[in-house]
Structure 1
Amino acid sequence: MTIEPKTSTRSERTWHGGDDRTAPLREEPELPGRGLDAEPGSGSAQQRAHELRNRPGAVFWGSIGVVVAFIAWSALSPDSMSGSMTAAMNWIAGSVGWTYLLVTLGCILLMVYLAFSRFGRIRLGKDQDRPEYSTWSWLAMILSAVMGIGLISYAVAEPIIHFTQPPHGLSEPGTYQAAVRAMQFSYFDWGPHAWAVFGIFGLAIAYSTHRRGNTGLISPMLRPVLGKAMDGPLGHVVDILAVIATLFGTTASLGLGASQISEGMNRVLGIPNELFVQIVIIIGITTVFTLSALSGVNRGIKYTSQVTSVLSILLALYVLVIGPTGFLGNLFFRSMGQYLNDFFMVSLTTPVSGDDVQWYQSWTYFMMAWWLSWGAFVGVFLAKISRGRTIREFVVGVLGIPSLVFFVWFTIFGGTAIKLDMEGAGSIGRAATQDLNSAFFETLDQLPLTGITSVIAIILVVLFFVSGADANTFVLSMLTSRGALEPSRAILTTWGALTGVSAIFLFLVGGLDALQQAAMISALPFGIVIALLGVSLVKSLRTDQDFDFTRTVTRDEVKTGMLRVPSPILSMDFEDPPTSSIPQQRAPRDQRIESLNSPDQG
């Protein structure tokens, strides 16, 4: 953060010792921002953004211009756009795709460092703030609003495809070792590598808004690295990149959701699984999630997330009990051991041939790019719901618990499908190879109560669809409302409609492939932003004098008087009691306080 030449009010505070001596603290520059609850008339960045939220600025109009130009291109020349996107994607995968791996691994290491470092007990908000939501509600919103659709779309499809076509030839297809490798690479794609990207964004935004009082834009968080450039056109470009990456990352999810709903309705109700039906589904769900976004986080997203969490737990328990329970337990621990053993090797493995490039483009690079493109959206959303939690709580709740939940979920459904194919005719694997959206329902078809479980799965996809797009609409609106933490209803409606329209046009141009390509391309420049964001966050924490109390004090600082007295001590009210009433055992502490604040110590 750039230090403003504003004199801290702390310099006016005094210490009152028993000898009636007053020693003022030395003046220090006040870092900008002290939390969300600024005093009326203080001119905080958040207050200004809120006052101007109905008058969107350069980020809004710039983002709208890019989206409209993209939609016009896809409408007027779909072949040209499809060819250009394919060429760009092939170049990225073959030349610089390794950057996706490097950035996501760096995010994991940084999250672990922050959790175990002295910064782990720093609260995301004022020191007296406490979490707004219960831990259950908080985790439910994280899981369902962030990557809920993936729980249905890929929970069976990815493991069963890796089982029939083991990655990098590491095992023989159809064997138990192939099942272990299938789960290992599913864990890799859906575990800490995804959640660490979200976590770094969430921490940076929560610290910037809740602790520093800045707006919800991305650009203010990069000031420690890029300085005042973030207050001008370059800052607008960064914020626009965040909007575009968020939009395309979400449209990929909407495409998957529409395909899943269409597949489920085809199996349960016999409705044709075709493009027209999928577009109608997108239009209908867009209307629902836009209305949900208008109701706010406390209503729409919170309650939808809780319902989806309960239904998900019930469905998972049913499959675990009815399915091959013993096989799933053994597979989970074997796969977890393989994942941990090969963690760094898999995290840094890159393609060495043309076939390898194609595989990475379909799986690893696409997944990592998808998470990068979701970084801003999920980060802003996590920051919104995480005020009052410590950094250590945040890391455990965002990096640890969701990863473990996804590991268990993928093992239950993917492992069940693998076991059924090992003992059967391999129908699930063939179905997934032809259309990954059919894999989940194909698995349910081979278990009892198919009709009931399929309906529950459709309901889950709809609710995941709504909660994810709901949160996305809120974040897009906040990013284009000068960072206002409560966007106007008009802007919420605008972005809800544009999200649905963008998904429809990409679907018309190239289906799911076009949606995936848009997410990967938009994630590349944004990966640089994420790397800079991690550096900026650490730099901000290290230079923030509010957190001096978390570090080790050196002897030289005590001797020279350069030790900054912790803010909790500053807030204490020291009276002038009679000298005789001071207990003898407290004398050393009082002497230290007077020594640290005496005039000759500066």
Structure 2
Amino acid sequence: MLERLQRRLGLQIIPGVFFTSAGIAALFVALAVPFDKVVADSFGLLTGWVAHNLGWFYILSVSALLFFLISLAFSRYGNIRLGADDSRPDYSNLTWFTMLFAAGIGTILMFWGVAEPISHFANPPFDGVKPGSEQAASDAMTIALYHFGLHTWTIFAVPGLAMAYFSYRHNLPMRISSLFYPILGERAFGPWGWAVDVIAVLGTLFGVATSLGLGTLQLNSGLNYLFGVPSTGLVQVILIAVITSIAATSVALGLDKGVRRLSQLNIVLAMALLAFVLTVGPSVFIAEGTVQSLGTYLNALPRLAFWTETFKDTDWQRQWTLFYWAWTISWAPYVGIFIARISRGRTIREFIAGVLLAPTAFTLVWFGVFGLSAIQMEMSGQIALAEQVQQDPSVAIFAFLEALPLSGLSSALSVIIIVIFFTTSSDSASLVIDMMTRRDEQPSLVRQRIFWAVAQGVIAAALLLAGGLDALQNVITSLGLPFCFLLIFMAVALFRALRADDRGYSMNELVQGRAFPEVVAPSETKQENDYVSETADRY
């Protein structure tokens, strides 16, 4: 039946993956729009159950995966190359680091760079810490770095490393289901593998929709500050429609030099904003605080990595850590594929060191400049930033910039950066989702890519109408759980394959004598990776 529907619609897809993913997404929107309160309350209850019963599982899983990656880097497996033994990296270190930044953290640092530290500064999660105190300021920076540092990039690195290894050393399709070949064997290319890809598609779809929703809230706050545009649900839906239209146009054009240059320009604009705040802000305080924050983060990391609020009956960890881990996990298929595409030729040790350390270092600088500047403003009484952030975290960056010189110009620049970041994220994610829902030999049709771009916008609008920020947090915390299990299985599959590789066994021997499937010819592998090349070429 699904095959007949595919032929009737003229689609180039894997019917089971495409229609199942699209059907679940459509069902969610169909229920969320007319029954917004019921849907919001249902996901609130589900998230409450997940946080209460399985919050420890999120915390333990991500920390265990970080330990797994560090162990791999220092083991003999670290010398294995992601490709032929004589291959070398496709990109220079500087270009690689720049693309890592563009892939995973540009979109979220704009929203949380000020809001996160100020929130914890005003409401410390630890007992005995006075709000607004020096200890609260130190803890706020430590928690922000914990949420956006090594643990976040662990979640991206695991699928990225596994994808690069199986794709470049064993010629498997660059698809999430391929990572389970050492466990599932040829079943990875049938219904079992399709089920894995459906989870990956939905995770990417809702993860990007959540980012789009947060970006819309922040964009609406910026337009309200600059032009007095009201902050209403209608305005936010219109903004989502505009961003989705731009993304759909871009994804329809494919490899477009204008879009690539626009993405490169956006990174330059973000760096210019960073340099501006560093120059006009408390530069010495920022430098001193950044160095100190690095030390306190490294010192507190072992404790935070396994902290589960066991002896406190609060909702803090659900609203912050669990939401971040689930949100990042939902992005993992998309960012993992992107990182894999740009990492061919590197050793496993180089990959892990680069993916974990380079973005974490940039995160330290970003929070050092924006977070410490905001805390200094609050402590000096220059502006009541904490009160505004507690009422609406999406206004944080604009309320912060208002206290600096040339606030109108810097706020306008922030709006531009936000629009481009979220547009290119939607564009790239649409290409990724399209790849995961079609076979290797099938061409990527424009209407399929546009469909996924529109789907992200519609889901984001439904989430905002169903409860705004709370709905975004609740949905993603619940839906991130299945992919958390997949991450663990990815690590197991990767380790089994590495052991076989190190001992000289072939992949077919690893899967109990089954022949390694020659399902991907070199030309097909290139075709399947073209869409990621488009994304990589932009940065």
What TM-score bracket applies, with the shorter chain setting the length? 0.7 to 0.9
Cα distance change, pair 134–407 in 1 and its aligned pair in 2 (3 A) = same
Q: 1:221·1:537 contact (CA, 8 Å) conserved in 2? A: yes
- Structure 1 distance, partners of 2:48, 2:217, is 25
Match of 2:211 among 249, 253, 265: 253
Q: Write the mapping of 1:196-235 to structure 2, written as runs, cut at 5 A.
A: 196-235=154-193
Give the equivalent residue in structure 1 for 2:141: 183
Match of residue 514, structure 1, among 442, 447, 471: 471
For 2:491 and 2:259, how far apart are their aligned partners in 1?
28
Partner-residue secondary structure (3-state), 2:126: helix
Does the Cα contact within 8 Å between 2:401 and 2:411 map onto a contact in 1?
A: yes
Secondary structure of 1:171's partner? coil
Of residues 160, 165, 170, the one that matches 2:123 is: 165
Correspondence 1:456 to 2:398: no
Which amino acid in 2 is paired with 1:240? V
Do 1:478 and 1:486's aligned partners in 2 also have CA atoms closer than 8 Å?
no
How many angstroms apart in 2 are the aligned matches of 1:464 and 1:55? 28
Distance in 1 (alpha carbons) for counterparts of 2:74 and 2:445: 39
Post-superposition CA distance 1:338-359 (Å, at most 9, x none): 1111211111011236742x11
Offset, 1:265: 1.3
Aligned to 1:360: 317
- Structure 1: distance between partners of 2:256 and 2:492: 32
Structure 2 distance, partners of 1:276, 1:243, is: 28
Distance 1:486 1:342 in 2: 49
1:290–1:497 Cα contact (<8 Å) kept: yes
Query: Aligned in 2, Cα 1:528/1:425: closer, same or farther, shift over 3 Å?
Result: same
Q: Which amino acid aligns with 1:213?
A: N
1:179-578 maps to which residues of 2 (within 5 A)? 179-296=137-254, 299=257, 302-352=260-310, 355-356=313-314, 358-424=315-381, 426-482=383-439, 487-544=444-501
Q: CA RMSD in A?
A: 2.3
Partner of 2:105: 147
- TM-score w.r.t. structure 2 length? 0.87
Displacement after TM superposition at 1:240 (Å): 0.7
Q: What amino acid sits opposite 1:180 in the alignment?
A: S
Alpha carbons of 1:275 and 1:186: their partners in 2 closer, same or farther (altered >3 Å)?
same
Residues 444 and 233 of structure 1: CA distance in aligned 2, closer, same or farther (over 3 Å): same
- Specify whether residues 484 and 311 from structure 1 end up closer, same or farther in structure 2 by C-alpha distance, changes over 3 A only: farther
Cα deviation per residue 1:4-44 (whole Å; 9 max; x = unaligned)?
xxxxxxxxxxxxxxxxxxxxxxxxxxxxxxxxxxxxxxxxx
Shift of 1:378: 1.0
Match of 2:25 among 67, 70, 73: 67
Contact 1:304 1:467 in 2 (8 A): no
The CA deviation at 1:517 is: 1.5
Does the 8 A contact of 2:222 with 2:398 survive in 1?
Answer: yes
Give per-residue Cα distances to partners, 1:529-553, cap 9 Å, x unaligned.
100101111111111269689xxxx
Residue 66 of structure 1 deviates from its aligned partner by 0.9
1:244 Cα deviation after fit: 0.9
The equivalent of 1:83 in structure 2 is 41
In 2, distance between residues paired with 1:345 and 1:135? 32
Counterparts of 1:523 and 1:334 in 2: how far apart (Å)? Answer: 33
Q: Is the radius of gyration larger for structure 1 or structure 2?
A: 1
Gaps of at least 5 residues in structure 2 are 1-9, 507-539
Is the 2:37–2:467 contact (alpha carbons within 8 Å) kept by the matching residues of 1? no
Alignment partner of 1:156: what SS?
Answer: helix
Identity, in percent, stands at: 37
Hey, what's the Cα distance between the residues in 2 that align with 1:427 and 1:225? Answer: 55
Cα separation, 1, equivalents of 2:441 and 2:478: 28
Normalized against structure 1, the TM-score is what? 0.78
Work out the CA distance in 1 between the residues paired with 2:220 and 2:430. 23
Change (3 A) 1:353 1:109: closer
Asked if 2 retains the 8 angstrom alpha-carbon contact of 1:289 and 1:469, the reply is yes
Q: Whose relative contact order is higher, 1 or 2, with alpha carbons under 8 Å and at least 6 apart? A: 2
Distance 2:443 2:160 in 1: 17
Work out the CA distance in 2 between the residues paired with 1:410 and 1:250.
23
One-letter amino acid of the structure 1 residue matched with residue 428 of structure 2: A
Aligned-partner Cα distance in 2 for 1:71–1:354: 36
Corresponding residue number in structure 1 for 2:509: none
**Contact map agreement 1:148 1:465 (CA 8 A) in 2:** no
> Cα deviation per residue 1:235-258 (whole Å; 9 max; x = unaligned)?
222111111111111111001111
TM-aligned CA deviation for residue 275 of structure 1: 1.6
User: Residue deviations 1:197-254, cap 9 Å, x none?
Assistant: 1001101111222221111222221122344543432322211111111111111100
The SS at the match of 1:126 is coil
DSSP 3-state at the match of 1:273: coil
Higher share in helix: 2
User: Relative to structure 2, which stretch is displaced further, 187-196 or 289-298?
Assistant: 289-298
Aligned residue for 1:342, secondary structure, equals helix
Summarize the Cα distance change of 1:484–1:293 in structure 2 as closer, same or farther, 3 Å threshold: farther
Give the AA of the match of 1:115.
A
Where structure 1 has 5 or more consecutive residues not aligned to the other structure, the ranges are 1-51, 550-602
Deviation track 1:455-500 (CA, whole Å, cap 9, x = no partner) reads: 1111111111122222211111111113679733232111111111
Aligned AA for 2:319?
A: S
CA distance in structure 2 between the partners assigned to 1:125 and 1:299 by the alignment: 29
**What's the CA shift string for 1:144-201, capped at 9, x where partnerless?**
2323221111000010111111122352211222111100000000001010110011
- Asked whether the equivalents of residues 88 and 346 of structure 2 are also in contact (C-alpha less than 8 Å), the reply is yes
Letter in structure 2 aligned against 1:95: N
Q: Are the counterparts in 1 of residues 383 and 403 from structure 2 also a CA contact under 8 Å? A: no
Contact residue 215 and residue 482 of structure 1 kept, 8 A: no
C-alpha separation between the residues in 2 aligned to 1:210 and 1:291? 32
Q: Is the alpha carbon distance of 1:492 and 1:337 closer, same or farther for their aligned partners in structure 2, counting shifts above 3 Å?
A: same
Give the distance between the partners of 2:443 and 2:154, measured in 1 at CA. 26
* Residues 295 and 195 (structure 1), Cα distance of their counterparts in 2 relative to 1, 3 Å cut: farther
C-alpha separation in 1, matches of 2:100 and 2:255 = 12
Q: Tell me how far apart the structure 1 counterparts of residues 493 and 255 of structure 2 sit (CA, whole Å).
A: 28
Deviation at 1:129, TM superposition (A): 4.2
Aligned amino acid, residue 300 of structure 2: D
How many angstroms apart in 2 are the aligned matches of 1:301 and 1:532? 36
